[in-house]
Amino acid sequence: MAVLQLAAACWLAAPPALGPREALPAPPPPPPLEEILARVEAEAAESPRLRSLLIARKGELVFERYYHGARADRTANIKSASKSVISALVGIAIDRGLIEGPEAPIGPYFSQYLAKDEDAAKRAITVGDLLSMRSGLETTSNRNYGRWAASRSWVRFALDQELIARPGGRMIYSTGNTHLLSAILTQASGESTWSFAQENLAEPLGMSLPRWQRDPEGIYFGGNNMAMTPRQMLAFGELYRNGGMHEGRRVLSKDWIERSFIPRGRSRYSGQLYGYGWWMREFADVQSYFAWGYGGQYILLFPELDLTVVATSSTESGRERRSHRADLFALLEERLIRRLRIGR
20 pLDDT above the threshold of 90? no
Rounded Cα–Cα distance for residues 155 and 311 (Å): 31
Phi-psi region of 225 (alpha: psi -120 to 50; beta: other; left: phi over 0): left
**Once rounded to an integer, what is the mean pLDDT over residues 56-67?**
98
H helical segments located in the chain: 2-13, 33-44, 82-95, 120-123, 127-131, 145-149, 154-160, 175-189, 193-197, 230-241, 254-260, 321-331, 338-342
The full DSSP string for 181-232 is HHHHHHHHHSS-HHHHHIIIIIGGGT--PPP--B-TTSPBPTTS--EE-HHH
Secondary structure in 3-state letters for 71-104: CCCCCEECHHHHHHHHHHHHHHHHHCCCCCCCCC
Q: How many CA atoms lie within 13 A of 156 on its CB side?
A: 9
172 pLDDT above the threshold of 90? yes
CB burial of residue 236 (10 Å; 0-12, 13-18, 19+): buried
What are 145's strand-pairing partners? none
> What is residue 141's DSSP assignment?
S
Q: How many CA atoms lie within 13 A of 79 on its CB side?
A: 16
- Residue 29's pLDDT band (cuts 50, 70, 90): confident
**pLDDT tens digit string along 298-307?**
999 999 999 9
**Once rounded to an integer, what is the mean pLDDT over residues 317-330?**
88
Rounded Cα–Cα distance for residues 248 and 147 (Å): 46
**Once rounded to an integer, what is the mean pLDDT over residues 148-158?**
98
Cα torsion 174, 155, 138, 288 to 10°: value is 20
Phi-psi region of 287 (alpha: psi -120 to 50; beta: other; left: phi over 0): beta
> What is residue 105's DSSP assignment?
B
Q: Where are the domains of the chain?
A: 33-342
Please state, for a pLDDT cut of 90, what percent of the chain lies above it: 88
**pLDDT tens digit string along 229-285?**
999 999 999 999 999 999 999 999 999 999 999 999 999 999 999 999 999 999 999
Give every CB contact of residue 277 below 8 A, 6+ residues apart in sequence: 83, 84, 86, 87, 88, 131, 178, 260, 291
**Fold annotation for 33-342:** Beta-lactamase (3.40.710)
pTM over 0.85: yes
Nearest to 337 by CA among 270, 290, 288: 288
